[in-house]
């Protein structure tokens, strides 16, 4: 069953990377500017002279920018074609401090306490969360940090859209729910969740309009005020940025 799940993931992303078949999703990601900036600010302000693992890097994702900011970066992914494409990009950049390997994120071929920072964008919800968190904690240094951007699975309207568009995602992916957010706290003493994109989803149909950027800024600000005054509603967000410190070592 586990092997079948992983093979399904490999095949799905083989088709994605080969054909760029998710380009039609780009209109949704146009609203993610504020969550990406939050993620990038954290990463780039902490990564200089650090060993960084990009967990589920796809074709490179943030690995190259991290290397440009002074990190020594290893990008890993289960997709052979994704890593092949990342290596081709790497040769063109002439960066010496970034490398890529095909590797199972749930069974890392990396020594204990090796990385200062582990990061990933949209990766944890594809994995067995217990297995992946065990590996993250194992290879992260005791004073290391981790940060992930992940989709949430608690908004019924977003979930209905997912139900209507099954071809856009793998069979086994599982946007994070409350039990998953609680589970993460078993692996790190310091856990912070920053929620994004609720009312800002209303901007998606207007992504090609001239006033889109102004509209999005207003909706992002409204979201943060909404989350401050009605805390429970943040769980209806589309995405969460998870920052983690003080891994709980059990080995």
70 belongs to a structural domain: yes
pLDDT reading at 34 higher than 70: yes
130 belongs to a structural domain: yes
Which band of pLDDT confidence, cut at 50, 70 and 90, is reported for residue 28? confident
Cβ proximity of 49 and 70 under 8 Å: yes
φ, ψ at 95 (rounded to 5°): -75, 130
Which band of pLDDT confidence, cut at 50, 70 and 90, is reported for residue 189? very high
251 belongs to a structural domain: no
Q: What is the pLDDT of residues 101-117, one digit of tens each?
A: 999 999 999 999 999 99
The number of C-alpha atoms within 13 Å of 79 and in the hemisphere containing its C-beta is 27
125 belongs to a structural domain: yes
242 belongs to a structural domain: yes
Q: What is the pTM of this model?
A: 0.91
pLDDT reading at 184 higher than 90: yes
Task: Please tell me the predicted confidence (pLDDT) of residue 3.
Answer: 65
Which band of pLDDT confidence, cut at 50, 70 and 90, is reported for residue 24? very low
Task: Please tell me the predicted confidence (pLDDT) of residue 113.
Answer: 96
CATH code, domain with 65 = 3.40.50.150
90 belongs to a structural domain: yes
232 belongs to a structural domain: yes
Share of the chain above pLDDT 70, in %: 89
The whole domain housing 21 covers 2-246
Task: Please tell me the predicted confidence (pLDDT) of residue 209.
Answer: 87
Residues 6+ apart with CB under 8 A from 115: 51, 52, 53, 139, 140, 141, 144
User: Could you give the number of structural domains in the chain?
Assistant: 1
107 belongs to a structural domain: yes
Q: What is the pLDDT of residues 38-80, one digit of tens each?
A: 999 999 999 999 999 999 998 878 999 999 999 999 999 999 9
């Amino acid at each position: 069953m586990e092997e079948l799940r992983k093979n399904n993931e490999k095949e799905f992303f083989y088709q994605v990377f080969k054909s760029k078949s998710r380009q039609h999703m780009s209109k949704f990601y146009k609203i993610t500017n504020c969550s990406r900036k939050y993620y990038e600010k954290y990463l780039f302000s902490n990564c200089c002279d650090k060993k960084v693992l990009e967990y589920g890097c796809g074709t490179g994702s943030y690995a190259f920018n991290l290397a440009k900011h002074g990190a020594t970066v290893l990008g890993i992914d289960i997709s052979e074609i994704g890593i092949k494409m990342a290596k081709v990009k790497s040769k063109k950049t002439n960066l010496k401090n970034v490398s890529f390997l095909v590797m199972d994120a749930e069974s890392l071929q990396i020594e204990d306490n090796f990385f200062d920072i582990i990061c990933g964008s949209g990766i944890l919800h594809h994995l067995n969360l217990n297995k992946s968190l065990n590996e993250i904690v194992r290879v992260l240094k005791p004073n290391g940090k981790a940060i992930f951007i992940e989709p949430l699975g608690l908004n019924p309207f977003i979930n209905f859209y997912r139900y209507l568009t099954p071809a856009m995602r793998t069979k086994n992916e599982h946007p994070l729910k409350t039990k998953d957010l609680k589970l993460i706290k078993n692996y790190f003493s310091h856990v912070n969740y920053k929620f994004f994109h609720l009312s800002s989803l209303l901007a998606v149909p207007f992504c090609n309009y001239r006033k889109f950027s102004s509209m999005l800024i207003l909706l992002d600000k409204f979201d943060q005020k909404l989350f401050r005054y009605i805390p429970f509603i943040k769980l209806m967000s589309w995405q969460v940025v998870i920052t983690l410190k003080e891994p709980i070592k059990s080995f």
